[in-house]
Amino acid sequence: MLNVEEVILLKETVCHIPGAPKIAVLGDFHNGDYLSVLASLRRHPIDIICIPGDLIYAGASTEVFHINEQKNVLPLLRGCMNIAPTFMSLGNHESILTQENIELLCSTGTYILDNEWTSYKNFTIGGLTSHIVLNTRAYRLAFPDSVCSTKNERNRNWKPILYPDLSWLDRIPSGYTILLSHHPEYYPFLPKLNLVLSAHAHGGQWRLFNQGLFAPGQGFFPKYTSGIYGNMIVTRGLTNTARIPRINNPTEIIYVNP
């Protein structure tokens, strides 16, 4: 039986999940305030840190950039690695990253899981890559001299990728499995896993009667915005990057305890 205990005005949310390791879930950091995040992490006994995508903030930009332009990203990862092993999947904002940028993220010691599994102690952790990342990569290959963007589909023959690659999930390792999947709307299409960690919905931005109003990928009155849904946990995320404020919807770090 899963249950949720919310503390510190929802800033830190503790989920009790039998059999799981002690996990800190950092979603939708978007180059935010890393000092407050690290301070929170140091207050909790944790085994691993999981980042289910959108570590960076791409905004409306479609140009390739250097990760050092986002001054809080690498310090966050280095700080996390000083606290516990850190695992990350690629969200939609990571579509702007080049391979060089990804290698810089890996240089911090962070495990970047790009449609792949890795083992840690007696657990297996996977990262499901956003379909927007796959779309951008395919676009770059098709039109290497063009601006690379999921929104820039100028060629009439271009067919965008609208779904994630789930084929590798057929090879589910034995033992306890944890999947980092940035988009909670992928959940109905996933195979049976022990635990799925998601973000992206930003809590629905406005929450009325404990219901999120809007989430990207789900539209109005989305189904998956905050909390536990079966074996999936959705974090409200660490920042507000929308032009409208959050209402009844503080940012949060989720702590998973067995």
Residue 257 near residue 3 (C-beta atoms within 8 A) = no
Note the pLDDT tens digit of each residue in 10-47.
479 999 999 999 999 999 999 999 999 999 999 999 99
CA pair distance 123, 138, nearest whole angstrom: 32
CATH number at residue 62: 3.60.21
Note the pLDDT tens digit of each residue in 135-144.
989 888 877 7
Beta-sheet pairing, 123-128 with 116-120: antiparallel
Domain count across the chain: 1
Q: Count of H helices and E strands in the chain? A: 4, 17
Q: What average pLDDT does this structure show over 166-191?
A: 94
Beta-sheet pairing, 123-128 with 219-220: unpaired
What angle in degrees, to the nearest 10, is found between the helix axes of 73-81 and 34-42? 10
How many percent of the chain have pLDDT more than 90?
74
Which of the four pLDDT bands, split at 50, 70 and 90, describes residue 203?
A: very high
Note the pLDDT tens digit of each residue in 227-255.
999 999 999 999 988 778 889 999 999 99
3, pLDDT greater than 70: no
**Residues of the domain holding 239:** 3-257
CA pair distance 117, 124, nearest whole angstrom: 7
Run of H or E residues at 105: helix 99-106
